[in-house]
A and B are shown apart, each in its own frame.
Chain A
Amino acid sequence: MIRHVMRWEAVLVAILVAELLIFGAINPRFLNSASLLFGTSDFVHIGMVAVPLTLVIIAGGIDVSFASTVGLTAILFGIANFMGAPLAVSILAALGAGALAGGFNAAMIRVTRLQPLVITLGALYLFSGAATVLSGAVGASGYEGIGGFPAGFTAMGYARILGLPTGLALFLAIAVALWLLLHLTRFGRLVFQTGQNEAAARHSGLPVGRVQATTYVLTGLCAALAGLMLSAYFGSARVDLGTATLLPAITAAVLGGASIYGGQGSVLGTVIAVFIIGYLQQGLQMSGVPSQISGALSGALLVVVVALRHGAALLRDLIPAASSSR
């Protein structure tokens, strides 16, 4: 299994390199290191939620509500700031709300024992509805959002950490932390085993509920980080900040090798997939393709890559000779 995953990550790297070379051939400016580096600011927020989402999926769950959590936590931050709370308190409020949102999902799934997709779908509406109502309550009607942040906060959106843009640095930090957590620690082992066979995990006395709840809380927390990052970047908190992350984030996790049935996946794979999807959108824009179409291409990419993967497995079953080379 481990070897299988490594091989898949190698395929993803090859796709990424091919993609960069093709766009570089079309438009040499694309391969300029500054544009590669700062271009990431347009998509790192996808990665910030895709990585914890990978853990949720591996543990046998799914979360679609994070797309609203991003906006909800950003609005809460904006409101706290608007009411005159110190910056640190506002940030903590947003992070706390994100963790609570994740905890709410986990609690509802546990109490109702229904499929996570259904519960988090309800939460997707609930959270975005709450964000809309809250932003209406402070008079920030419509989609213009809540602004007026301290200069120090908005500056963070454009600062550099170790030479990297803040967003990218934050994304990589999340990725490294969760990679360590998933692949080297006892908790990571529990995440995999819960997803591989939940009944056996219960029989073995593993804390199934706690493990799954933690993955949802992590996702809520990272969604809040993404919400804060986007608020700083745009200088205002909006309800719909995260709406566009829903499909690309799930796409990244699945493309990265996470099995929708649980028990399989890798943080590294998701990270590479995020770059594939992000640079695809960027490269297309720089090549003069309208931005809407890049959505089509990342959809097509997902279909083609996963179809190839399943098609290859199908072929292996049909042609015994191919499998003897394993």
Chain B
Amino acid sequence: MGEMLAELRGVTKAYGPVQVLRDVDFEIRAGEIHALLGGNGAGKSTLMKILAGLVPASAGEIRINGTSLSHPTPAQVQALGLYLVPQEAHIFPHQSVLQNVCIGLPRAAHHYRDRIERHIAELGVSISPDAKAATLEIADRQLVEILRGMIRNARVLVLDEPTSALTPHEVEALFTRMRALRDAGAGLVFISHKLHELRAICDRITVLRDGNTVLAAPLADCPDTRIIAAMSPGASALRDRAAPREIGAQALTLEGVSGEGFEDISLGLRAGEILALTGVVGAGRTELAETLVGLRPLAGGRLEVNGRALPRPSPRRAVDAGLVYLSEDRQQYGLFLEAPLFWNTSSFVTHKLPALLRPGREKARFARYRDSMKIRCQSPEQSAAALSGGNQQKVLLSKCLAAAPRVLILDEPTRGVDVGARGDIYAIIEELAAQGVAVLLISSDFDEVVRLADRIAVMAGGRIAGELPGGSPIGEIARLAFESREPAHA
């Protein structure tokens, strides 16, 4: 094993009465890639933020390159050679890529131009240092963060779910670069939910659960079952497919629908059916869904819900027609975080509430959903901010159900949701379909698609690349999703 680059000893963190980390040890050595795993709220992001000086620990010791720090600041930590690539790239939209990479460095940006151009070439990507950051795609924004780490000569690089927005091609390029850094003697921490990615590049694994270390071992010694058992002892997500359901009348029809980022989409969906719409990020699935409910302009084509045309959709008209869309971005487009939970449940049907509100009825309705979906909360008046990702998602599902949808579009309903809550959400989706709701499931998680869908439509480059029966092999889905989208310059 290589020399010790960074270590955390006995780190504890509490927010008020909530204990987030309990006496956690973690170390990063030269020449290794260390996987950090854990469900939502397990404390892994907090642990890494403490290491990066972004959050102060309540107790414990932090040591980077042999220097012990009691209350590190981001500047100190970076000067000692540690850089955290956050899950969502921190971009200054109005500055150039060059400035974005160099802000916070000891010299003016132009001194670093040559090195940055060299690093860009090494990564095998094509972005201009003078491009405005606002114009970058999500994947390129992630690259800006990685460049920041490289230009700071970081010997310890922490990558928090860096692959969630990348195409497989870009993931491979990133892994190549990570291996090269490791072989040059750097230590890396890799956070991901995807086991096959960890298998591809990691040497060691640490699993956190409820703020405790529950597994720390060389990755080769840990079969998948052991890792899953450590993350969630009662995992129910990997159950078999439910019994076949009764499929009813046509509920949603798209004929040659075009809009921003997609063209000529024709699909049909029947009551009681789960149709998965899968593909890679940027294939145009979210844009399609947002167009169907009138959040984006509809450029052409016909849309029919329950046999009635919806010529000029708007969110309100869609809800009234029985078409409900749940966005993939919970915090930004879904929840009213400061509002009481029961307001959230009512928010799709606010226009149907009496002009003089009757909160008692609304609370009772919320309580029904809380019981049937096992939402863990203290009261209907509590705000959603304190709930875990899984429980927030259930609150949003209650918001959709309160609108009594005939067609429900769920966009990445389990992103950022831990394994236990994921099983609950699967059960809810299947229960809905059994009650005759037509479900359009947008998901990039092929396991989830295979597990839930009756039919699978694959989107690539803004078009339907093909349709497959439920339970098709993952390889076949991946072939449709990736191959037709393989970029021209590759």
Which residues of B (359-394) have their CB < 8 Å from a CB of A? Answer: 381, 383
B142 at interface by CB-CB < 8 Å = no
Task: Give Cα distance in the complex from A141 to B343, angstroms.
Answer: 54
| CB–CB B357/A205 < 8 A | no
Stretch from A116-124, A196-204, A273-281 contacting the other chain: A196-204
Q: A197-B335, A264-B338 are in contact. Are A203 and B17 (CB under 8 A)?
A: no
Q: Min CB distance, B66 to chain A, in Å?
A: 30
Q: Min CB distance, B168 to chain A, in Å?
A: 30
Most B CB atoms within 10 A — which of A196, A200, A207?
A200
Task: Give Cα distance in the complex from A202 to B336, angstroms.
Answer: 12
B74 at interface by CB-CB < 8 Å = no
| CB–CB B16/A320 < 8 A | yes
B83 at interface by CB-CB < 8 Å = no
Which residues of A (197-235) have their CB < 8 Å from a CB of B? Answer: 197, 199-207
| CB–CB A199/B332 < 8 A | yes
Task: Give Cα distance in the complex from A189 to B15, angstroms.
Answer: 31
Partner of A203, one of B334, B338, B350: B334
A1 at interface by CB-CB < 8 Å = yes
Which residues of B (176-213) have their CB < 8 Å from a CB of A? Answer: none
Partner of A205, one of B16, B335, B348, B354: B348
Question: Which chain B positions have C-beta within 8 A of A189?
Answer: 343, 350, 353, 357
Q: Min CB distance, B128 to chain A, in Å?
A: 29
Q: Min CB distance, A27 to chain B, in Å?
A: 43
| CB–CB A203/B327 < 8 A | yes
Question: Which chain A positions have C-beta within 8 A of B353?
Answer: 186, 189
Stretch from B93-101, B150-158, B314-322 contacting the other chain: B314-322
Please classify the interface of chain B as helix (H, G, I), strand (E, B), loop, or mixed, using the class held by over half of its residues: mixed
Task: Give Cα distance in the complex from A259 to B217, angstroms.
Answer: 49
| CB–CB A203/B343 < 8 A | no
Can you list, as one digit per residue, whether each of B311-347 has a CB less than 8 Å from chain A (1) or not (0)? Answer: 0001110110000010100001111111110010001
Question: Which chain A positions have C-beta within 8 A of B351?
Answer: 186, 205-207
Which residues of B (22-45) have their CB < 8 Å from a CB of A? Answer: none
Question: Which chain A positions have C-beta within 8 A of B295?
Answer: 202-203
Can you list, as one digit per residue, whether each of A174-193 has a CB less than 8 Å from chain B (1) or not (0)? Answer: 00000000001111111011
Q: Min CB distance, A75 to chain B, in Å?
A: 36
A323 at interface by CB-CB < 8 Å = yes
B356 at interface by CB-CB < 8 Å = yes
Q: A2-B340, A196-B338 are in contact. Are A205 and B355 (CB under 8 A)?
A: no
Partner of B332, one of A2, A185, A200, A264: A200
Question: Which chain A positions have C-beta within 8 A of B337?
Answer: 196-197
Q: Determine the residue in chain A with the shortest Cβ distance to B294.
A: A205
| CB–CB B347/A206 < 8 A | yes
B14 at interface by CB-CB < 8 Å = yes
| CB–CB B334/A200 < 8 A | yes
Which residues of A (287-326) have their CB < 8 Å from a CB of B? Answer: 316, 320, 323-324, 326
Task: Give Cα distance in the complex from A201 to B333, angstroms.
Answer: 8
| CB–CB B17/A200 < 8 A | no
Question: Which chain B positions have C-beta within 8 A of A202?
Answer: 295, 315
| CB–CB B340/A186 < 8 A | no
Question: Which chain A positions have C-beta within 8 A of B381?
Answer: 2
Q: A184-B356, A206-B350 are in contact. Are A200 and B336 (CB under 8 A)?
A: yes
| CB–CB B357/A186 < 8 A | yes
A-B contact count (CB 8 A): 89
Task: Give Cα distance in the complex from A214 to B357, angstroms.
Answer: 19
Q: Min CB distance, A73 to chain B, in Å?
A: 29
A102 at interface by CB-CB < 8 Å = no
Task: Give Cα distance in the complex from A324 to B14, angstroms.
Answer: 11
Question: Which chain B positions have C-beta within 8 A of A206?
Answer: 347, 350-351
Q: A197-B337, A202-B295 are in contact. Are A186 and B315 (CB under 8 A)?
A: no
Q: Min CB distance, A201 to chain B, in Å?
A: 8
Task: Give Cα distance in the complex from A263 to B340, angstroms.
Answer: 12
Q: Min CB distance, A319 to chain B, in Å?
A: 10
| CB–CB A186/B350 < 8 A | yes
Q: Determine the residue in chain B with the shortest Cβ distance to A197.
A: B336
Most A CB atoms within 10 A — which of B335, B336, B354, B383?
B336
Q: A200-B332, A205-B315 are in contact. Are A186 and B355 (CB under 8 A)?
A: yes
Most A CB atoms within 10 A — which of B16, B327, B351, B354?
B16
Question: Which chain A positions have C-beta within 8 A of B355?
Answer: 185-187
| CB–CB B338/A263 < 8 A | yes
| CB–CB B350/A1 < 8 A | no
| CB–CB A193/B17 < 8 A | no
Q: Determine the residue in chain A with the shortest Cβ distance to B317.
A: A205
Question: Which chain A positions have C-beta within 8 A of B316?
Answer: 205, 207
Task: Give Cα distance in the complex from A196 to B334, angstroms.
Answer: 11
Can you list, as one digit per residue, whether each of B392-412 has a CB less than 8 Å from chain A (1) or not (0)? Answer: 000000010000000000000
Q: Determine the residue in chain A with the shortest Cβ distance to B352.
A: A186
Question: Which chain B positions have C-beta within 8 A of A196?
Answer: 336-339
Q: A185-B357, A202-B295 are in contact. Are A193 and B347 (CB under 8 A)?
A: yes
Task: Give Cα distance in the complex from A193 to B357, angstroms.
Answer: 14
Q: Determine the residue in chain A with the shortest Cβ distance to B385.
A: A1
Question: Which chain B positions have C-beta within 8 A of A190?
Answer: 350
Question: Which chain B positions have C-beta within 8 A of A192?
Answer: 339, 343
Q: Min CB distance, A268 to chain B, in Å?
A: 17
Question: Which chain A positions have C-beta within 8 A of B357?
Answer: 184-186, 188-189
Question: Which chain B positions have C-beta within 8 A of A199?
Answer: 332-333
| CB–CB B319/A203 < 8 A | no
Which residues of A (91-122) have their CB < 8 Å from a CB of B? Answer: none
Q: Min CB distance, A5 to chain B, in Å?
A: 11
Can you list, as one digit per residue, whether each of A147-190 has a CB less than 8 Å from chain B (1) or not (0)? Answer: 00000000000000000000000000000000000001111111
Q: Min CB distance, B328 to chain A, in Å?
A: 11
Partner of A186, one of B17, B348, B354: B354
Q: Min CB distance, A202 to chain B, in Å?
A: 7
Task: Give Cα distance in the complex from A323 to B16, angstroms.
Answer: 6
Q: Min CB distance, B13 to chain A, in Å?
A: 10
Q: Determine the residue in chain B with the shortest Cβ distance to A323.
A: B16
| CB–CB B327/A204 < 8 A | no
Question: Which chain A positions have C-beta within 8 A of B356?
Answer: 184-186
Q: Min CB distance, A192 to chain B, in Å?
A: 7
Task: Give Cα distance in the complex from A193 to B350, angstroms.
Answer: 10
Q: Determine the residue in chain A with the shortest Cβ distance to B339.
A: A196
Question: Which chain A positions have C-beta within 8 A of B350?
Answer: 186, 189-190, 193, 204, 206
| CB–CB A204/B354 < 8 A | no
Which residues of B (259-299) have their CB < 8 Å from a CB of A? Answer: 295
Q: Determine the residue in chain A with the shortest Cβ distance to B14.
A: A320
A-B contact pairs, 17 of them (CB 8 A): A185-B356, A186-B351, A186-B357, A189-B350, A189-B353, A196-B336, A197-B337, A200-B333, A203-B325, A204-B315, A204-B350, A205-B316, A206-B347, A207-B316, A320-B14, A324-B16, A326-B16
Ranked 5 nearest A-B pairs via Cβ: A205-B315, A205-B316, A323-B16, A204-B347, A203-B333
Known: A1-B383, A200-B347. 6 other contacts (CB 8 A): A185-B357, A186-B350, A189-B350, A193-B347, A206-B347, A316-B16
